[in-house]
């Protein structure tokens, strides 16, 4: 695997991830910077909380699709290298979290992780989707479901015997997710975090 291919996968994936769906939806629909409202996060869950389910779904689909495109592109270009596709997908998640044109303040990567995993290995993707649904329903907190998904990524990569570099990148993403969700964890412990049921009730009004 040549270094230029690794660099290309990382750059292309990152730039695709920088397509900030939540920010664009907020600007186009309400002319707001979504990062100044709700949880100050440019992601589907915050869009849902601030603007409603319709825009939350649109945002989630956009964030899923950009990571899928990154993985698909390198699966097509380099069908013999699962690692390059994984790198492209992981870079798309990083682009989502750290978009350069928004001063590196984006979302937290849940939807993009789903897109990456589904495009990379459908079975892993379905397990991660099941994980975030179950944990969110049981605990009422999407943040905990997201952390659960990121934690499972390196474990499943190891279980399905993917290359060490994929496992290593998965561990890095897991640590990053814990760091990005540190405030959510603190708010959850203090019972101050906005729960899924609260969001549902708000959007019924």
Q: Which helix (H) or strand (E) segment is 128 a member of?
A: helix 122-139
Residue-wise pLDDT for 41-61, tens only, equals 898 989 988 898 899 999 999
Residue-wise pLDDT for 114-128, tens only, equals 999 999 999 999 999
Res 45: pLDDT: 87
Tokens of 3: 């270094």
Burial of 149 (0-12, 13-18, 19+ CB in 10 A): buried
56 with 26: CB under 8 angstroms?
Answer: no
Res 57: pLDDT: 94
Distance (Å, rounded) from C-alpha 110 to C-alpha 155?
Answer: 17
Instruction: Give the residue, 198 or 96, on which the prediction is more confident.
Output: 96
Q: Please, which pLDDT band fits residue 1 given cuts at 50, 70 and 90?
A: low
On average, the pLDDT of the chain sits at: 93
Cα angle 109, 65, 125; round to 5 = 65
Instruction: Give the residue, 2 or 179, on which the prediction is more confident.
Output: 179
**pLDDT of 205 over the 60 cut:** no
Res 194: pLDDT: 78
Low-confidence winner among 35-39, 61-65, 96-100, 169-173 (lowest mean pLDDT): 35-39
Cα angle 125, 203, 108; round to 5 = 40
Q: Please, which pLDDT band fits residue 195 given cuts at 50, 70 and 90?
A: confident
- Averaged pLDDT, 154-158: 97
Distance (Å, rounded) from C-alpha 10 to C-alpha 14?
Answer: 6
């Amino acid at each position: 695997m040549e270094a230029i291919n690794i660099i290309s996968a990382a750059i292309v994936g990152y730039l695709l991830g920088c397509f900030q769906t939540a920010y664009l939806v907020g600007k186009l629909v309400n002319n707001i910077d979504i990062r100044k409202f709700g949880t100050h996060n440019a992601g589907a869950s915050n869009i849902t909380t601030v603007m409603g389910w319709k825009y939350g779904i649109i945002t989630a689909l956009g964030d899923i699709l950009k990571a899928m495109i990154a993985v698909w592109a390198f699966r097509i270009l380099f069908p013999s290298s699962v690692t390059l596709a994984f790198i492209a997908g992981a870079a798309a998640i990083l682009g989502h979290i750290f978009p350069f044109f928004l001063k590196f303040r984006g979302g937290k990567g849940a939807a993009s992780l789903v897109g990456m995993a589904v495009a990379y290995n459908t079975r892993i993707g379905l397990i991660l989707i099941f994980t975030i649904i179950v944990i969110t329903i049981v605990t009422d907190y999407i943040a905990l479901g997201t952390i659960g998904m990121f934690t499972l990524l390196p474990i499943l990569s190891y279980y399905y015997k993917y290359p060490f570099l994929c496992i290593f990148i998965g561990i890095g993403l897991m640590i990053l997710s814990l760091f990005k969700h540190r405030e959510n964890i603190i708010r959850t412990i203090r019972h101050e975090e906005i729960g899924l049921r609260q969001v549902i009730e708000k959007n019924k009004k």
